[in-house]
Amino acid sequence: MRSWLFTLILAVAGAALFALSRFIQNDYFFFAGYVVLQYIVLSTAWNILGGYCGYVNFGTAALFAIGAYTTVALHKLLVTSRIYPMSMPELIVIGGAVSAVVGLGIGYLTLRLRGAFFSIATLALAVVIQTIITNWDYVGGSRGAYVIRPPSAPLVGSYIQYLFLVMLVLAVISVAVARLIERSRLGYGFATIRDDEIAAEASGVPTLRLKLIATTLSGALMGMAGAPLPYYVGYLDPASGFNLAYAVNSIAMPVIGGTTTWIGPLIGAVLLGTLQQWVTVTISSAVSLLIVGLLLVGFVIVAPNGLVGLVRPLFVRGKG
């Protein structure tokens, strides 16, 4: 299928989903749906580096929180002091840009090293950034910051519906980007990095540049997913912004869905995200996290190619 056609279908599906959801007069649906959509963005973003290139990033929470805290800072600087009322799309673009730069930076620092060191470095990065934010009083420090949500929103009226729509658009964009990569030269290059970097170089693949593209793109999408968060929660502190659940979910969802193709993270995020929302409401959030952990370990042992691998046992890359 042509990429523009795929994107069009995806967009239409998204629009239909939103139109249908407007009939649901229950705010909880939008609150829960927002989280699931956010996980579609995060797991797709993680998979661009982790699944396609084989570099495991444990720092999702940090890149996500950078997007969120960029919003907090801009909100305080511009919106509260009435210098310039920034709109959500602007905040998302800026949050994404900041996380992209950080992603590029971590890539430069560590991607010359073996894969495992990259993973450890991302863990380290997450803690360093969390410590900096915790000690940065302007954005609330360890006490956290309140962000007052506007009473109504453009286009749709209800602000939570607006946030849901924004995240839906981001989810459509990230899935479309992931599929576009998969079918392009870039996707082939990423796959050779995952398989054998030395052989890739010998075949003319500029591995370092490709990896930097992947970290930048992945970081940008994570930051974009984080940018609306302060408006969603209304109150943001480091413990929630840097919650380990983001890192675990962004790994567990692609691994459970299947990491070699765009549909894996999508399936993983929808199934696992919905399951978690349900278990959190019916039992507790700790149990829902336990389930994610158990599923992650279970899948990597028993079904290493995820649900996609179970459905298509002999999954070979498409014709390209």
Chain contacts with another protein (rule: CB under 8 A): 50-51, 54, 56, 58, 109-110, 113, 115-117, 119-121, 123-125, 127-128, 130-132, 134-135, 142, 185, 188-189, 191-192, 194-196, 198-208, 244, 247-248, 251-252, 255, 259-260, 286-287, 289-290, 292-294, 296-297, 300-301, 304, 316-317, 320
Tokens matching residue 113? 């090293």
Nearer to another protein, 148 or 290 (CB): 290
DSSP the chain: --HHHHHHHHHHHHHHHHHHHTT---HHHHHHHHHHHHHHHHHHHHHHHHTTT------HHHHHHHHHHHHHHHIIIIIITTS----HHHHHHHHHHHHHHHHHHHHHHHTTS-HHHHHHHHHHHHHHHHHHHHT-GGGTGGG-EE-PPPSSBTTTBSHHHHHHHHHHHHHHHHHHHHHHHHTSHHHHHHHHHHH-HHHHHHTT--HHHHHHHHHHHHHHHHHHHHTTHHHHHSEE-HHHHT-HHHHHHHHHHHHHH-SSSTHHHHHHHHHHHHHHHHHHHHS-HHHHHHHHHHHHHHHHHH-TTHHHHHHSTT------
Nearer to another protein, 62 or 167 (CB): 62
Nearer to another protein, 45 or 153 (CB): 45
Nearest in space to 33 (alpha carbons), one of 202, 170, 212: 170
* Smallest separation, CB 271 to another protein (Å): 17
* Smallest separation, CB 201 to another protein (Å): 4
Nearer to another protein, 161 or 259 (CB): 259
Q: What are the residues facing 98 on neighbouring strands?
A: none
* Smallest separation, CB 184 to another protein (Å): 10
* Smallest separation, CB 52 to another protein (Å): 10
Nearer to another protein, 77 or 287 (CB): 287
* Smallest separation, CB 81 to another protein (Å): 28
Q: How far apart are CA 86 and CA 154, in angstroms?
A: 13
Q: What are the residues facing 146 on neighbouring strands?
A: 235
* Smallest separation, CB 270 to another protein (Å): 20
Nearer to another protein, 9 or 199 (CB): 199
Nearer to another protein, 169 or 303 (CB): 303
Nearer to another protein, 4 or 117 (CB): 117
* Smallest separation, CB 196 to another protein (Å): 5
* Smallest separation, CB 192 to another protein (Å): 5
